[in-house]
Amino acid sequence: MRQVVLDTETTGLSWQKGNRLVEIGCIELINRRPTGRSFQKYLNPERDMEPGAMEVTGLTLDFLSDKPLFSDVVAEFLDFIKDAELIIHNAEFDLGFINNELSMLGATFGKIADYAQVLDTLKMAREMYPGQRNSLDALCKRLDINNKHRKLHGALLDAELLTDVYLLMTSGQTGFGFDQSNQAQNVDAQVLTPSGFEGRAFVLEDSLAVCAIHQERLDGIAAKSGKKLWAD
């Protein structure tokens, strides 16, 4: 089975208010194993970043101004995700932005539902851990996944972390849609003790390329501000 773990970064929280995509990051899985194939693009949003988005991503319009438009990469992106199951954390957010970008190009490209199915790991986590925080950072902490290098949000970096989260949350599952009748038993038996997860070999190691991109952004912010805001 082919799956694609996907994450995006945006200029702000609402596409309805004119915010746009600034980064797409994807990781390919075949039969639960990362293949080494990925898709990552920074995008020129043709508008300013909102302060909150700039703070969490470190991205600025200066950095993004020479990057491709979504229209320049849409065919490559859709080809990468075609016929896969998309694994997205809080899928409504990412799909809202992507579908909005597609609609801005006219009726030619349709919607994401025309290309792929979607599994929302936030909905899965809320069922597995009711009443608890289920952000990506919270899940990394709960499942003992090292995310200390996540000083800023980045789509490809977050897709790698979500790959780890997804594989651990579904360890022992033979399928990718949970059996609702026995989901709780499966979770208690196989997910709440991730330190014993023998399938950890499937989890992505930190990509040197991703870390280099992340560090370049950090260095750029430090150079402009004249001071380093975080420890190495």
**pLDDT above 90: percentage of residues in the chain:** 70
Is residue 207's pLDDT more than 90? Answer: no
Q: Show me where the domains of the chain are located.
A: 2-225
Instruction: Give the separation between CA 82 and CA 53, rounded to whole angstroms.
Output: 29
User: At 222, is the pLDDT very low, low, confident or very high (cuts 50, 70, 90)?
Assistant: low
Evaluate if residue 202 carries a pLDDT over 80: no
- How confident is the model at residue 170, as a pLDDT? 95
DSSP 106-143: -SSS--GGGT-EEEEHHHHHHHHSTTS--SHHHHHHHT
Integer angstrom CA distances of residue 72 from 43, 90, 146, 181, 216: 9, 26, 35, 45, 24
Q: Which two tokens stand for residue 102?
A: 């597609």
The average confidence (pLDDT) of the chain is 82
Q: Is 149 a catalytic residue?
A: no
Output the pLDDT for position 7: 98
- The secondary structure element, H or E, covering residue 25 is strand 21-30
CATH of domain 2-225: 3.30.420.10
H-helix or E-strand spanning residue 158: helix 155-169
Exactly one of 89, 149, 153, 214 is catalytic; name it: 153
Task: Give the tens place of pLDDT for each residue, 42-73.
Answer: 999 999 999 999 999 999 999 999 999 999 99
What is the CA angle 214-61-112, rounded to 5?
75
Lowest mean per-residue pLDDT among 110-124, 182-196, 212-226: 182-196
